[in-house]
Amino acid sequence: SEEELRDRIVDAKAKLGSRVLILGHFYQRDEIVAHADFVGDSFQLAKNATERPDAEHIVFCGVHFMAETADILSTPEQSVTLPNLSAGCSMADMADIGQVEECWEQLSEICASSQDGRGLAPIIPVTYMNSSAALKAFCGRHGGIVCTSSNARAVLEWSFARGKRVLFFPDQHLGRNTAAAMGMDLRRMPVWNPFRPLGDNSAEDYRDAQMILWKGFCSVHQRFTVEQIERARAAYPGVKVIVHPECSFEVVNAADGTGSTAYIVNEIENAPAGSAVAVGTEINLVNRLAADHPDKTVFCLDPVVCPCSTMYRIHPAYLAWSLEHLLAGDVVNRITVDADTAGEAKIALERMLRVHP
Ligand code: 13P
Ligand code: SF4
């Protein structure tokens, strides 16, 4: 039963004491969040993974790329467990290293001649945190950097101080939304389709480009529409609409604010009592915020339940099982990034942490 699982987790965690650090993303179920030492957005959790080098084990209640990042940033002695190995991220899976290398080769050929006199590189690769360690390592090798939804703008500013163009993967929406907010021209943001390279664009489009976007998206955030925002505004006059930047450009433009999950949490905490806030992000987070703020009307823009199915795969039974194994001296579902990949990925992650500590 739910209570039994809760008791097993509490018991194993108490016995492990300071030997274990449990990290939980904002999208996790309430029954998981209740046990996390830190709950945060992907940026905060990456930093939290470095803050307890004394903990032998990190149990990451989130998705695969987050656990990989924790392994890269934590000490080599610490183990990182992902309680359910099938908790991936469909967006992160939309760019693999083979596709990115092929894209890089073709774009480098197209753009090489355009190296300018100011010493700027033809292209800087930027990967969203939601990507495999291999992609982060690619960015480390090629003078690039990692960003999250909470620092994408600062990271792009850093990148454009070094390069004429940015190749941004895997989320086209975060790339487009951030670049547009910086005043860049949407017509200079061609989208690279890994299954149809150059298909929808000409070589000239890439030569003229500022932002080269990758044809990736989040299936949860791509569901939000401008019509939903219009309906929310009609039903709740004065409602504040806030959305995650993985939503489409049109949705972000129609909203009153956009930012990472930490931004969304913060906005709702600071909203005045009696106000209404419509949110365009994952339902577990929105429902928890609504329950925590009964004095405000907090609701999800999408009336149909809108969960991240992979985040939801971290069921309390897996957490109990992982902790009990740690207690017995056995690390299950360990996430390890090989040393070469980790070393290069760390370069790109540390660049991000210098730009946005
Ligand atoms: P945050 O960095 O805002 O936590 O976002 C992670 C994510 O996967 C959003 O879908
Ligand atoms: Fe990936 Fe979207 Fe889930 Fe975030 S909400 S983990 S981007 S699938």
Per-residue pLDDT of the chain (357 residues), as tens digits, is 899 999 999 999 999 999 999 999 999 999 999 999 999 999 999 999 999 999 999 999 999 999 999 999 999 999 999 999 999 999 999 999 999 999 999 999 998 865 555 688 999 999 999 999 999 999 999 999 999 999 999 999 999 999 999 999 999 999 999 999 999 999 999 999 999 877 778 898 999 999 999 999 999 999 999 999 999 999 999 999 999 999 999 999 999 999 999 999 999 999 999 999 999 999 999 999 999 999 999 999 998 877 899 999 999 999 999 999 999 999 999 999 999 999 999 999 999 999 998
Instruction: Say if 267 falls within a structural domain.
Output: yes
Q: Are residues 279 and 291 in the same domain?
A: yes
- For residue 354, being part of any structural domain is answered with no
Asked whether residue 247 is marked as a ligand-binding residue, the answer is: no
**Beta carbons of 171 and 191 less than 8 angstroms apart:** no
125/37 same-domain check: no
In a domain, 317, yes or no: yes
84 and 119 together in one domain: no
| Neighbour-count burial for 230-240, b at 16+ CB within 10 Å, e otherwise | eebbeebeebb
Q: Evaluate whether residue 150 is within a structural domain.
A: yes
**Which residue puts its alpha carbon closest to atom 8 of ligand 2?**
89
User: Pairing mode, if any, of strands 163-169 and 121-128?
Assistant: parallel
Residues 293 and 325 in one domain: no
Is 253 part of any known ligand binding site?
no
Pocket of ligand 2 (CB under 6 A): 63, 89-91, 130, 218, 220, 246, 282, 308, 310-311
Answer whether residue 170 is part of any domain.
Answer: yes
Boundary of a domain, candidates 255, 274, 300: 300
Neighbours of 295 (CB within 10 A): 10
CA of 11 to the centre of ligand 2 (A): 31
Helix, strand and coil in the chain, % to nearest 5: 45, 15, 35
Report in angstroms the alpha-carbon separations of 84 from 121, 139, 303, 322.
41, 28, 28, 9
Q: Establish if 213 belongs to a structural domain.
A: yes
CB 64 within 8 A of CB 88: yes
| 42 annotated binding-site participant | yes
Q: Strand, helix or coil at 10?
A: helix
Q: CA gyration radius for the chain?
A: 21
77 inside domain? yes
- In this structure, the answer to whether residues 112 and 191 fall within a common structural domain is yes
User: Is residue 354 helix, strand or coil?
Assistant: helix
225 in the same domain as 208 = no
Question: Which residue has a Cα nearest atom 6 of ligand 2?
Answer: 89
Beta carbon of 333 within 6 Å of any ligand 1 atom: no
User: What is the Cα–Cα distance from 191 to 307, expressed in whole angstroms?
Assistant: 27
Q: Are 252 and 213 in the same domain? A: no
| Residue where a domain stops, chosen among 176, 194, 217 | 217
What spacing in Å lies between the alpha carbon of 115 and ligand 1's midpoint? 34
In this structure, are 142 and 187 located in the same domain?
yes
Is 141 in the same domain as 166?
A: yes
Residue 261 in marked binding region: yes
pTM, rounded to two decimals: 0.96
Q: Is the previous residue joined to 170 through a cis bond, with omega within 30 degrees of 0?
A: yes
Verify that 7 and 120 share a domain, yes or no: no
Q: Do residues 176 and 118 both lie within one domain?
A: yes
Half-sphere exposure of 122 (CA within 13 A, CB side): 15
Domain count, the chain: 3
User: Bridge partners of 61?
Assistant: 24
Give me the domain span that covers residue 242: 221-300
Strand order in the sheet with 297-300: 257-258, 240-243, 276-280, 297-300
Q: Where are the beta strands (DSSP E) in 93-188?
A: 121-128, 145-147, 163-169
252: domain CATH number is 3.40.50.10800
Percent of the chain with pLDDT over 90: 92
Does one domain contain both 36 and 84?
yes
Domain closes at, from 217, 239, 257:
217
Would you say residue 344 lies in a domain?
Answer: no
* Tokens (6 digits) for 206: 């890439």
